[in-house]
Amino acid sequence: MNAGKSTILLQASHNYRERGMNTLLFTAALDDRAGVATIASRIGLKQQGHLFSDEDNLFEQIEDKLEKNFVDCVFVDEAQFLTPKQVWQLARVADRLGIPVMTYGLRTDFQGKLFPGSAELLAIADILREIRTICHCGAKATMVVRLNADGSVMIKGAQVDIGGNERYVSLCRKHWEEKMGFWPSIEADSPTLKFEE
């Protein structure tokens, strides 16, 4: 959150278009804060894109658009909301159609757990680049907390709850742990990470 992912996506798309190339932009259907199918940054940049939802076959959609107009690059905002199957569809776009695909999204949710789309991207992406923001202490922020209406930190809840600065705060791992009020531990007989409250 607050690292400028959408700004960087829009700038990269602009660079392609400035050179006479065509880009295809996608954003998650469930995030309509800036308007339907609109990719917008906090600094005011915005551009219309195409929506994706869980049921969509992105390979087929891109292949269909390719028949009508050449596509030089595909950009996906809110990539954490991709399904693992859609991540593989985008990999197929890169591998079989020869079109670069750049995805931008969050790695983990407010509880520090990977989103399914992010997990698949981390597993199969050719290149990973971290876009950084900072915690209030000045350290690199890698986590987010979700806020309740009264400003207190939410510990439990659904993985997806669309919101911006009014709902989420980016923190370093140390301050995230302090705000969440628990710390992870690994039991000797279990390879899974458990949270102790």
What is the value of pTM for the model shown?
0.81
Boundaries of every domain in the chain = 5-131
CB 133 within 8 A of CB 2: yes
Chain segment 44-98, per-residue pLDDT in tens: 777 788 989 999 999 999 999 988 889 999 999 999 999 999 999 999 999 999 9
- pLDDT (0 to 100) of residue 182: 66
CB 87 within 8 A of CB 121: yes
At the fourth CATH level, which superfamily is domain 5-131? Answer: P-loop containing nucleotide triphosphate hydrolases (3.40.50.300)
Chain segment 155-184, per-residue pLDDT in tens: 777 676 665 556 788 899 899 898 888 665
Instruction: Reply yes or no on whether 78 is catalytic.
Output: yes
Chain segment 17-37, per-residue pLDDT in tens: 999 999 999 998 877 666 677
Question: Of 78, 177, 178, 187, which is the active-site residue?
Answer: 78
Task: Provide mean pLDDT across the span 14-18.
Answer: 95
Measured between alpha carbons, how far is 181 from 175 in angstroms, rounded to an integer? 10
- pLDDT (0 to 100) of residue 1: 57
Contacts 24+ apart (CB under 8 A), 92-99: 92/59, 93/58, 93/59, 93/62, 93/63, 94/126, 97/62, 97/63, 97/66, 99/62, 99/66, 99/71, 99/72, 99/73, 99/74
184 CB contacts (<8 Å, ≥6 apart)?
A: 112, 193, 194, 195, 196
- pLDDT (0 to 100) of residue 159: 73
Q: Regarding predicted confidence, which is higher, 72 or 153?
A: 72
